[in-house]
Structure 1
Amino acid sequence: MNLLIYSLKITPRLNYIFDFILIELLGISYSFTNDLDTFVNSSSIKIQYSPNYTSIPNSLFLKADKLLFESDIKTQNIEVLSWRETKAFFKTDDQSFIPYDIFAAGFYLLSRYEEYLPFEHDKYGRFGADQSLAYKHNFIKQPVVDIWAEYLKVELLKYYPKLKFKERKFHFISTIDIDNAYAYLHKGIFRSISSSAKLLLSFKWNELIEKIRVHQGKSVDPYDSYQFLEKIHSKYNVPAIYFFLTAKYAKYDKNISPDSKQFNQLVKFISKDYEIGIHPSYASNRNVNNVKSEKEKLEKLSQKEITKSRQHFLMLKFPETYRNLIKSGIEEDYSMGYVSVTGFRAGTCIPFHFFDLEANETKNLKITPFALMDVGLKDYNRLDAEEATKEIEKIIENVKKVQGLFVSLWHNESLGNKRKWENWKYTYEKMMKYTKM
């Protein structure tokens, strides 16, 4: 059954968010018209999306905020309201069948509108969670756009009980970033001697002894968690994606040499059974050509086309980062999330397309958001392994409520034998189990 939407003006922003909420989330086909006579005479299910109410029989009204009819970028006047079990914004009026403009609010979050506005960046130049509307108003841990879509479904069924919707199912993807493939092994003579000297001069005897034992073959390298991951993913039948940093050594890019035999072997071992993607280096933010060369390096090693990526350090700058990825041949990005908090940076747990606000158009880049990160749980929120398990389960429950996609971000480092990460591999397995419950 087709839904007919009346709007005075049909814009790229309007098309983008109606496609996501109605087609992607709810599975409803729809069409727009800006001809009032066509709308009035139609026998379809009808919604009037307009700034001003017009009395039209057999139709619903939703007061439209101005946001979707604009093409510029400016500070928006936002008042957050509580409704049912969540929060929303862009309040409507008493004649509207829901009390907020779900489409304008959804667009604001998905497009990352606030990240185009002036903000106080962190030491790496990133937009921090504490700058976001969702964090400030305490709804960041909910996939609110998906929740709003469920509420819209409930309201539509009140008026049109025969309306059919898409049936969604909960899914889980584990993603692993390989920033530093090994703690001690395969670093080359200079890096190995240099790091040993630093451990010696800083009196880190335990680490120095550990390093010696690893080089003697008496202990496993503490970052070598690949057999564990292979076993655990197979045991729980979990799809996983590994993101490889293939850049040359630099201050913030410290993997083993991508030209080494050991790195080559690792890429082939993992890509044999799992999807892989590029982990664009920190340095690539200053030189966009690096993304393409790093991608080509991984393609050469794996003998596979690389179309997925996640930014190292989650370095996202709108719209430049995504434009550069598109130019480099990337089709899917997994950087949409925060280091410091668990939750939903774009207000959804469902993949969506990048809308370039400056160009005012939808781009051919799919964004898959992640909900939590190992480093965020431990280092930023200072949770121990057991506390982290409880936080992870809360996030999973929020995704299950909307039958969404739960994506986690871990590193090989946190799932190895490093004392700092003791017991966290058990947290990882508990997460696997919980997604199957």
Structure 2
Amino acid sequence: MLLVYTHKITPRVKYAFKHILTRILGIPVTFTTTIEDFIAHDSLKMSYTKQPLSHEVFIRSHDILFEHGLSDIDIHVQDWENTKCFFSNGEKSAIPFDIFSAAFYLLSRYEEYLPHVKDEYGRFTAVESLAYKHDFLHQPVIDVWAYKFKKVLETQFPDYEFPKKSYAIKPIIDVPSPYNFKLKGLMRNFGGTIKDLFGFKFKRLYYRYIVLFGIKKDSYDTFKYIINKQKQSNFKFLFFFLIGDYSTYDKGISANKKQFVTLIKQVADYCKVGIKASYFALEDIDILKKEKQRMEAILNTSLTASRQSFSKLNLPQSYRNLIELEILEDYTMGYVNHTGFRAGTCTPFFFYDLDYEIQTPLKITSYHLLDFSLLKHQSLLDKKKALNEIISEIKAVNGEFVPVFHNYTFSDVDRWVGYKELFNNILNSVNEN
């Protein structure tokens, strides 16, 4: 148990320290404002305030963890050995930056509450982020900082047995539509036929009908392949099925189709299944509630995990809606067009509500790579290089790699050629040094 002396114990202090010390390093932490209790403690301890008490491990505190709401914070990102950090804290401190305040800024998504330019879907983009602007998006900086701090503790407390953690993976399979042509009904296929004809897409038209007549398998139907991969892996895959109503943005299969329901049940026998909330469910809690109940009826169990369509988040309302409906895990946090660490970490964390100043029960698992983000690399070799780089960053801090692939990614046709091999590389990365 590590005891932290600080002049004021706030929800922000607890939140930041528990993420770095407990979730990343596995060290239990508690807090005190009483000097006598701090002196009497005979195990790990440190002070987090403006001035050191004596010769203890001391980190000079920044004001952000003792404030309420949002303020105009002046941030200067600086180099720190093999990484970058901000909130520098002077010479007396055991490390040159207040990593707890910096971690809070990134984890709370403080910058996403500030004025910024959104994309056409209303999303916060990577290029607007501090991490992108200062070239540390590629690194799970909070985890890197945590291990730097661990070295300080190991030096100060050489007899303490520090817990060990190992690299893990959590593959996500996103299913906006389980089939390309099957189960889409007469009108949608008729409309698709007209579109193919006028677009001179004769190859697609031919393929559409040999699939509809049962001569060839639908290219999106890769579920048998994925389940076989799940059987060979020690890590549970997590599927997100879209079962919302057909709309401008969501063009999946109706949840009334028995074949679709059967598919979801079959996948749930082997993998964990969550809901891919539709585009309009993001804004309307009643639609989200309907979709949740629909999925629970299919799975015959309570729903625990969600992912939003188009990886869109409206903070804090999106997360408040999930909490109200008792969906306690979310996998939306990430960037569609960039690999990297949107929240600066490869360790799951809890949503901190900046308006109410509380840590909520909603666990956020940010994803670090979406299959689409690799399309900008022309060759398979370049894709592998980009994939291996992010895996190396996560392995360096014994983190959890969360990649998002779609069911159609495994079709191995057109732009998805080679993606099966990339997925295999992810699964094999657990056994490689």
TM superposition score normalised by structure 1: 0.95
5 Å-filtered alignment, 1:143-154, equals 143-154=140-151
Aligned counterpart, 1:412: 407
Q: Single out whichever of 64-73 and 151-160 deviates more from structure 2.
A: 151-160
CA distance in 2, matches of 1:60, 1:433: 40
Change (3 A) 1:239 1:383: farther
Once the 2 structures are TM-superposed, how far is the Cα of residue 185 of structure 1 from its aligned partner? 0.7
Aligned counterpart, 1:283: 280
User: SS state of the match for residue 277, structure 2?
Assistant: coil
Query: Is the 1:225–1:416 contact (alpha carbons within 8 Å) kept by the matching residues of 2?
Result: yes
Matched, 1:75 2:65: no
Once the 2 structures are TM-superposed, how far is the Cα of residue 162 of structure 1 from its aligned partner? 1.4
Query: Is the 1:389–1:431 contact (alpha carbons within 8 Å) kept by the matching residues of 2?
Result: no
Query: Is the 1:334–1:367 contact (alpha carbons within 8 Å) kept by the matching residues of 2?
Result: yes
Match of 1:259 among 256, 260, 263: 256
Once the 2 structures are TM-superposed, how far is the Cα of residue 28 of structure 1 from its aligned partner? 2.2
Change (3 A) 1:202 1:7: same
Unaligned residue ranges in structure 1 (runs of 5+) = none
Change (3 A) 1:207 1:398: same
Aligned counterpart, 1:116: 113
User: SS state of the match for residue 310, structure 1?
Assistant: strand
Once the 2 structures are TM-superposed, how far is the Cα of residue 427 of structure 1 from its aligned partner? 2.1
Aligned counterpart, 1:170: 167
User: SS state of the match for residue 410, structure 1?
Assistant: strand
Change (3 A) 1:237 1:26: closer
RMSD of aligned alpha carbons: 1.5
Once the 2 structures are TM-superposed, how far is the Cα of residue 431 of structure 1 from its aligned partner? 2.4
Aligned counterpart, 1:386: 381
CA distance in 2, matches of 1:30, 1:427: 39
CA distance in 1, matches of 2:280, 2:377: 28
Matched, 1:205 2:202: yes
Residue identity matched to 2:85: A
Change (3 A) 1:289 1:129: same
5 Å-filtered alignment, 1:297-308, equals 297-308=294-305
Match of 2:158 among 149, 161, 181: 161
Aligned counterpart, 1:363: 360
CA distance in 1, matches of 2:269, 2:30: 44
Aligned counterpart, 1:8: 7
CA deviations on 1:196-222 (whole Å, 9 max, x unpaired) are 110011101111111111112221111
Once the 2 structures are TM-superposed, how far is the Cα of residue 375 of structure 1 from its aligned partner? 1.2
Query: Is the 1:268–1:301 contact (alpha carbons within 8 Å) kept by the matching residues of 2?
Result: yes
User: SS state of the match for residue 402, structure 1?
Assistant: coil
CA distance in 2, matches of 1:9, 1:327: 30
Residue identity matched to 1:87: K
CA distance in 1, matches of 2:213, 2:415: 22
Matched, 1:314 2:320: no
Residue identity matched to 2:15: Y
5 Å-filtered alignment, 1:68-147, equals 68-147=65-144
User: SS state of the match for residue 16, structure 2?
Assistant: helix
CA distance in 2, matches of 1:29, 1:364: 19
Residue identity matched to 1:411: H
Percent identity of paired positions between Structure 1 and Structure 2: 38
Once the 2 structures are TM-superposed, how far is the Cα of residue 40 of structure 1 from its aligned partner? 4.5
5 Å-filtered alignment, 1:219-298, equals 219-298=216-295
Once the 2 structures are TM-superposed, how far is the Cα of residue 5 of structure 1 from its aligned partner? 1.6
CA deviations on 1:223-281 (whole Å, 9 max, x unpaired) are 11111111222234442010010101001111011111121111111111111000010
Once the 2 structures are TM-superposed, how far is the Cα of residue 193 of structure 1 from its aligned partner? 0.3
Query: Is the 2:346–2:366 contact (alpha carbons within 8 Å) kept by the matching residues of 1?
Result: yes
Match of 1:214 among 205, 208, 211: 211
Q: Single out whichever of 165-174 and 425-434 deviates more from structure 2.
A: 425-434
Query: Is the 2:174–2:407 contact (alpha carbons within 8 Å) kept by the matching residues of 1?
Result: yes
Once the 2 structures are TM-superposed, how far is the Cα of residue 9 of structure 1 from its aligned partner? 1.1
